[in-house]
Amino acid sequence: MRIVRGKEKARSTFLRRALGEVPPLPRWLRRRIEEVFGARLTAEQVVERIIRQVRREGDAALLELGQKLDGVELDSLEVTPEEMSAASKIDKSLASALELAADRIRSFHLAFRGRGQDIDLGEGGLGRLLRPLERVGIYVPGGTASYPSTVLMTAIPARVAGVRQIILTTPPAPGGGVSPAVLAAAELAGVDRIFKVGGAQAIAAMAFGTQTVPRVDKVCGPGNIFVVLAKKMVYGVVGIDGLHGPTETVIVADEDASPALCAADLLAQAEHDPLASAILITNSLPLGKAVAEEVERQLASLERQAITRQALHARGGIAVVDSIDEAIELANEYAPEHLALLVKDPWFYLSRITNAGGVFLGEGCPEAIGDYVAGPSHVMPTGGSARFSSPLGVDDFLKVTSLFALDQESVRHLGQAASALARAEGLTAHARAVEMRLPQARPKPNRRKGRPSGDEG
């Protein structure tokens, strides 16, 4: 791994974000796009075409795109009860791990549900009405790999929130089926329907609905660049949980940190994706050098060595700064998805953390456990969006309606001010609607000059 010295050098290299930019597509993918669509298209143009086709053709588009993009011919889009039976055939140890993860995730979100479906009426007749969304769509990456953990991390918070219907879309495997582990996770999480659709076309199907795939109120879950762009383009037609890009981790470590553990945590993130970011910030040059050596040593035995090495070369690095305070400053600026504090007293520095999707305290708490069984969702803000957004949770599946139940005394107390503001804005009807409820300010009947009123005649 490359090592740089000083804050400014770190800011100008691997800690520099290209905010809002779509990363360039690799050559092989550009060739594939031209082959499928008959033109040289950007990622945005590809997604626009897919969304238009799904809106226009519905199920037929999903079947055609599945064949063209995934190389899979399907007889039906929805997973049948017969196909679901494969869930019972997974290895017992995997089934046990999924059950443990599901229990812990459910317990965590139940503890933080709060008054998720209550009428919360405060003083003065004002409050909030919280209700779960009716139907939510979960996107789970798939195809050549399967991610049952993502099923649990997205669907369980929705179920805890009280969502009435949860549907799941995932790319089919080369044979046209869905991973038994994903099916088993879906059963544990309470998913209602599963569809063998992936990519941007899955997002479009859930946003607009097709003959088979129902339209949802919100689309959640991570995906590749085409999924992220599709979520961005359909936002407003449906809600989205965020634009979750490649995973990223920042480790802040002092001179006492274990080089082997630092390297292991960096590699655990880098193996996700060639675009993953794995960064160490330390106040110790000897530690930085030792971690770089450990990364090379551990990398040699990884199954995904090529992907991991590519990620470390493109977006990884070690920054050596003057102090842990400077390291925390850089971490807050970068706003990583995962922030690991491998320092002597991590709790001391916790109060200084302002921007991170998740914070992992101490060497004994690896981020990889958070990916699977700790409890909080592993769907977290990426790309610097931890500056303004949060990990997926129960609140993502609740909507708030403001309640107004002002009594007559409150209206009398507030009405004159409301009327004055309305008239200042030129909204006479607004003012009158208030004034008609104020006995002392109700307009009197019009009387013509020189004629007696009704009670005088």
pLDDT of 6 > 50? The answer is yes
Examine the residue annotation and report whether 435 is marked as an active-site residue of this protein. Answer: no
For the four alpha carbons of 36, 37, 41 and 43, in that order, the dihedral sign comes to negative
Superfamily of domain covering 245-388:
Nitrogenase molybdenum iron protein domain (3.40.50.1980)
pLDDT of 115 > 60? The answer is no
- The Cα 260–Cα 37 span in angstroms is 47
Domain range list for the chain: 81-242+395-400, 245-388, 407-441
pLDDT of 442 > 90? The answer is no
Identify the pLDDT of residue 116. 47
Which two structure tokens, joined as six digits, stand for 124? 């003065």
Long-range Cβ contact pairs of 370-377 (< 8 A, separation 24 or more): 370/338, 371/149, 372/97, 372/101, 372/149, 373/97, 373/100, 373/101, 373/104, 374/104, 374/108, 375/104, 375/105, 375/107, 375/108, 375/109, 376/108, 377/105, 377/109, 377/153, 377/154, 377/157
Phi and psi at 401, nearest 5°, equal -115, 125
CA nearest neighbour of 40 among 28, 31, 51: 31
Give the mean pLDDT of 56-68: 96
Identify the pLDDT of residue 446. 52
pLDDT of 42 > 80? The answer is yes
Examine the residue annotation and report whether 337 is marked as an active-site residue of this protein. Answer: yes
What is the SS3 assignment for 5? strand
Identify the pLDDT of residue 86. 92
For residues 185 and 218, is the Cβ–Cβ distance under 8 A?
no
- The Cα 384–Cα 337 span in angstroms is 8
Neighbours of 26 (CB within 10 A): 10
Tell me the pLDDT band of 307, cut-offs 50, 70 and 90.
very high
DSSP string, 101-116: HHHHHHHHHHHT--ST
For residues 175 and 224, is the Cβ–Cβ distance under 8 A?
no
What is the SS3 assignment for 148? helix
Give the mean pLDDT of 306-333: 96
Identify the pLDDT of residue 233. 97
Which two structure tokens, joined as six digits, stand for 41? 């298209």
DSSP classification of residue 33? H
Architecture of domain 81-242+395-400 in CATH? 3-Layer(aba) Sandwich (3.40)
pLDDT of 456 > 60? The answer is no
CA nearest neighbour of 321 among 8, 2, 1, 16: 8
Neighbours of 427 (CB within 10 A): 12
pLDDT of 273 > 90? The answer is no
pLDDT of 227 > 60? The answer is yes
Question: Which entry of 244, 338, 363, 435 is annotated as an active-site residue?
Answer: 338
pLDDT of 159 > 80? The answer is yes
Identify the pLDDT of residue 114. 62
Q: Give me the amino acid identity at 404.
A: F
The pTM for the full model equals: 0.89
pLDDT of 455 > 80? The answer is no
For residues 70 and 169, is the Cβ–Cβ distance under 8 A?
no
Identical fold for domains 81-242+395-400 and 245-388, yes or no, is yes
pLDDT of 387 > 50? The answer is yes
pLDDT tens per residue, range 423-437: 999 999 999 999 999
Question: Which entry of 248, 271, 294, 337 is annotated as an active-site residue?
Answer: 337
- The Cα 50–Cα 62 span in angstroms is 9
The distance from CA 212 to its chain's CA centroid, rounded to whole angstroms, is 25
- The Cα 203–Cα 156 span in angstroms is 20
